Structure 1
Amino acid sequence: MKPVKSTARWDDWAALAAGLIVAVSWLWHQTIGPPTAALFLLGVAAVFMAVLALTHPELIATEAVMIVVGLAIFIAPWALGFTGVAPMAWTGWILGAVIVALGAVGLPRAIALHRRPVPH
């Protein structure tokens, strides 16, 4: 199997960075509580999925779960009731949408790599 060039994985690197920002965003939001913990855990999940996508580019599930995690980050401000905390809410909305888009960009490539014949 021919390795994929790292430059071809820009979307996974960007998703890794976005997830990391979500995970550590509590540092500048200066909030504590369930919404903060949820953003942290969702950010960690995005980082984990991005690392899996980088190390196993042929796995379709990594990109699909990345989209789901991004959607969860995006709806978290409404679902967890922190739309009134503007910095946290905007972090969720913007980076959630970015992670969804990055997962959608990587999904066709993962499908193509998954369907590629394995050399014997």
Structure 2
Amino acid sequence: MKAWSRWQDWATLVAGLYAALSPIWVVSASGAAPSLIVLGALTAIVSLVALANPGVVATEWLNALWGVLLFIAPWAVTYTQDQGASRTSWIVGVVTVALSLTAVPISRAAHRQAIQH
């Protein structure tokens, strides 16, 4: 697999950037912003690494972890009362987990191919 070509990683990059930047347009007084910014930035950074190195399977699992943490953050950080922030967290979390898990087999194949050559 060529670097910078996996659509799942591009989509998780966009999702991570969306989460990280969402405090700009999602007004929240509950402290949701740090969770969204940090987890969104981590998702975006790991997505960039996955795009540059398509055979590193750990990047897909890391993004799945960030997605799970984004999904549970509204309850853990207690900002479920902020509909905009919590919906952003839930939707980006689900999208990130789903896309990351669909990219795992592709990343494994790229990893095996790199080892054989």
Give the aligned partner of residue 28 of structure 1.
25
Tell me by how many angstroms 1:105 deviates. Answer: 1.1
Which amino acid in 1 is paired with 2:2? V
Cα distance in 2 between the residues matched to 1:59 and 1:96:
21
Q: Do the aligned partners of residues 61 and 5 (structure 1) sit closer, same or farther apart at CA in structure 2, a change above 3 Å counting?
A: closer
3-state secondary structure, aligned to 1:25: helix
Matched, 1:110 2:107: yes
Provide structure 1 residue ranges, at least 5 long, that are not aligned to the other structure.
Answer: none
Report the CA distance shift for 1:103/1:93 in structure 2 as closer, same or farther (over 3 A): same
Q: Distance in 2 between matches of 1:71 and 1:112?
A: 24
How far apart are the structure 2 equivalents of 1:31 and 1:94?
17
Task: Name the SS for the 2:25 alignment partner.
Answer: helix
Q: CA–CA distance in 1 between the matches of 2:30 and 2:88?
A: 16
State how far apart, in whole Å, the 2-side matches of 1:83 and 1:6 are: 36
Percent identity of the aligned residues? 35
Quote the Cα distance in structure 2 between the aligned partners of 1:59 and 1:18: 20
Q: TM-score, normalised by structure 2?
A: 0.92
> What is the TM-score with the length of structure 1 in the denominator?
0.90
- 1:98 and 2:95 aligned: yes
How far 1:16 moved relative to its partner?
A: 0.4
Q: Which residue of 2 aligns with 1:18?
A: 15
Give the unaligned 5+ runs of structure 2.
Answer: none
One-letter amino acid of the counterpart of residue 81, structure 1: T
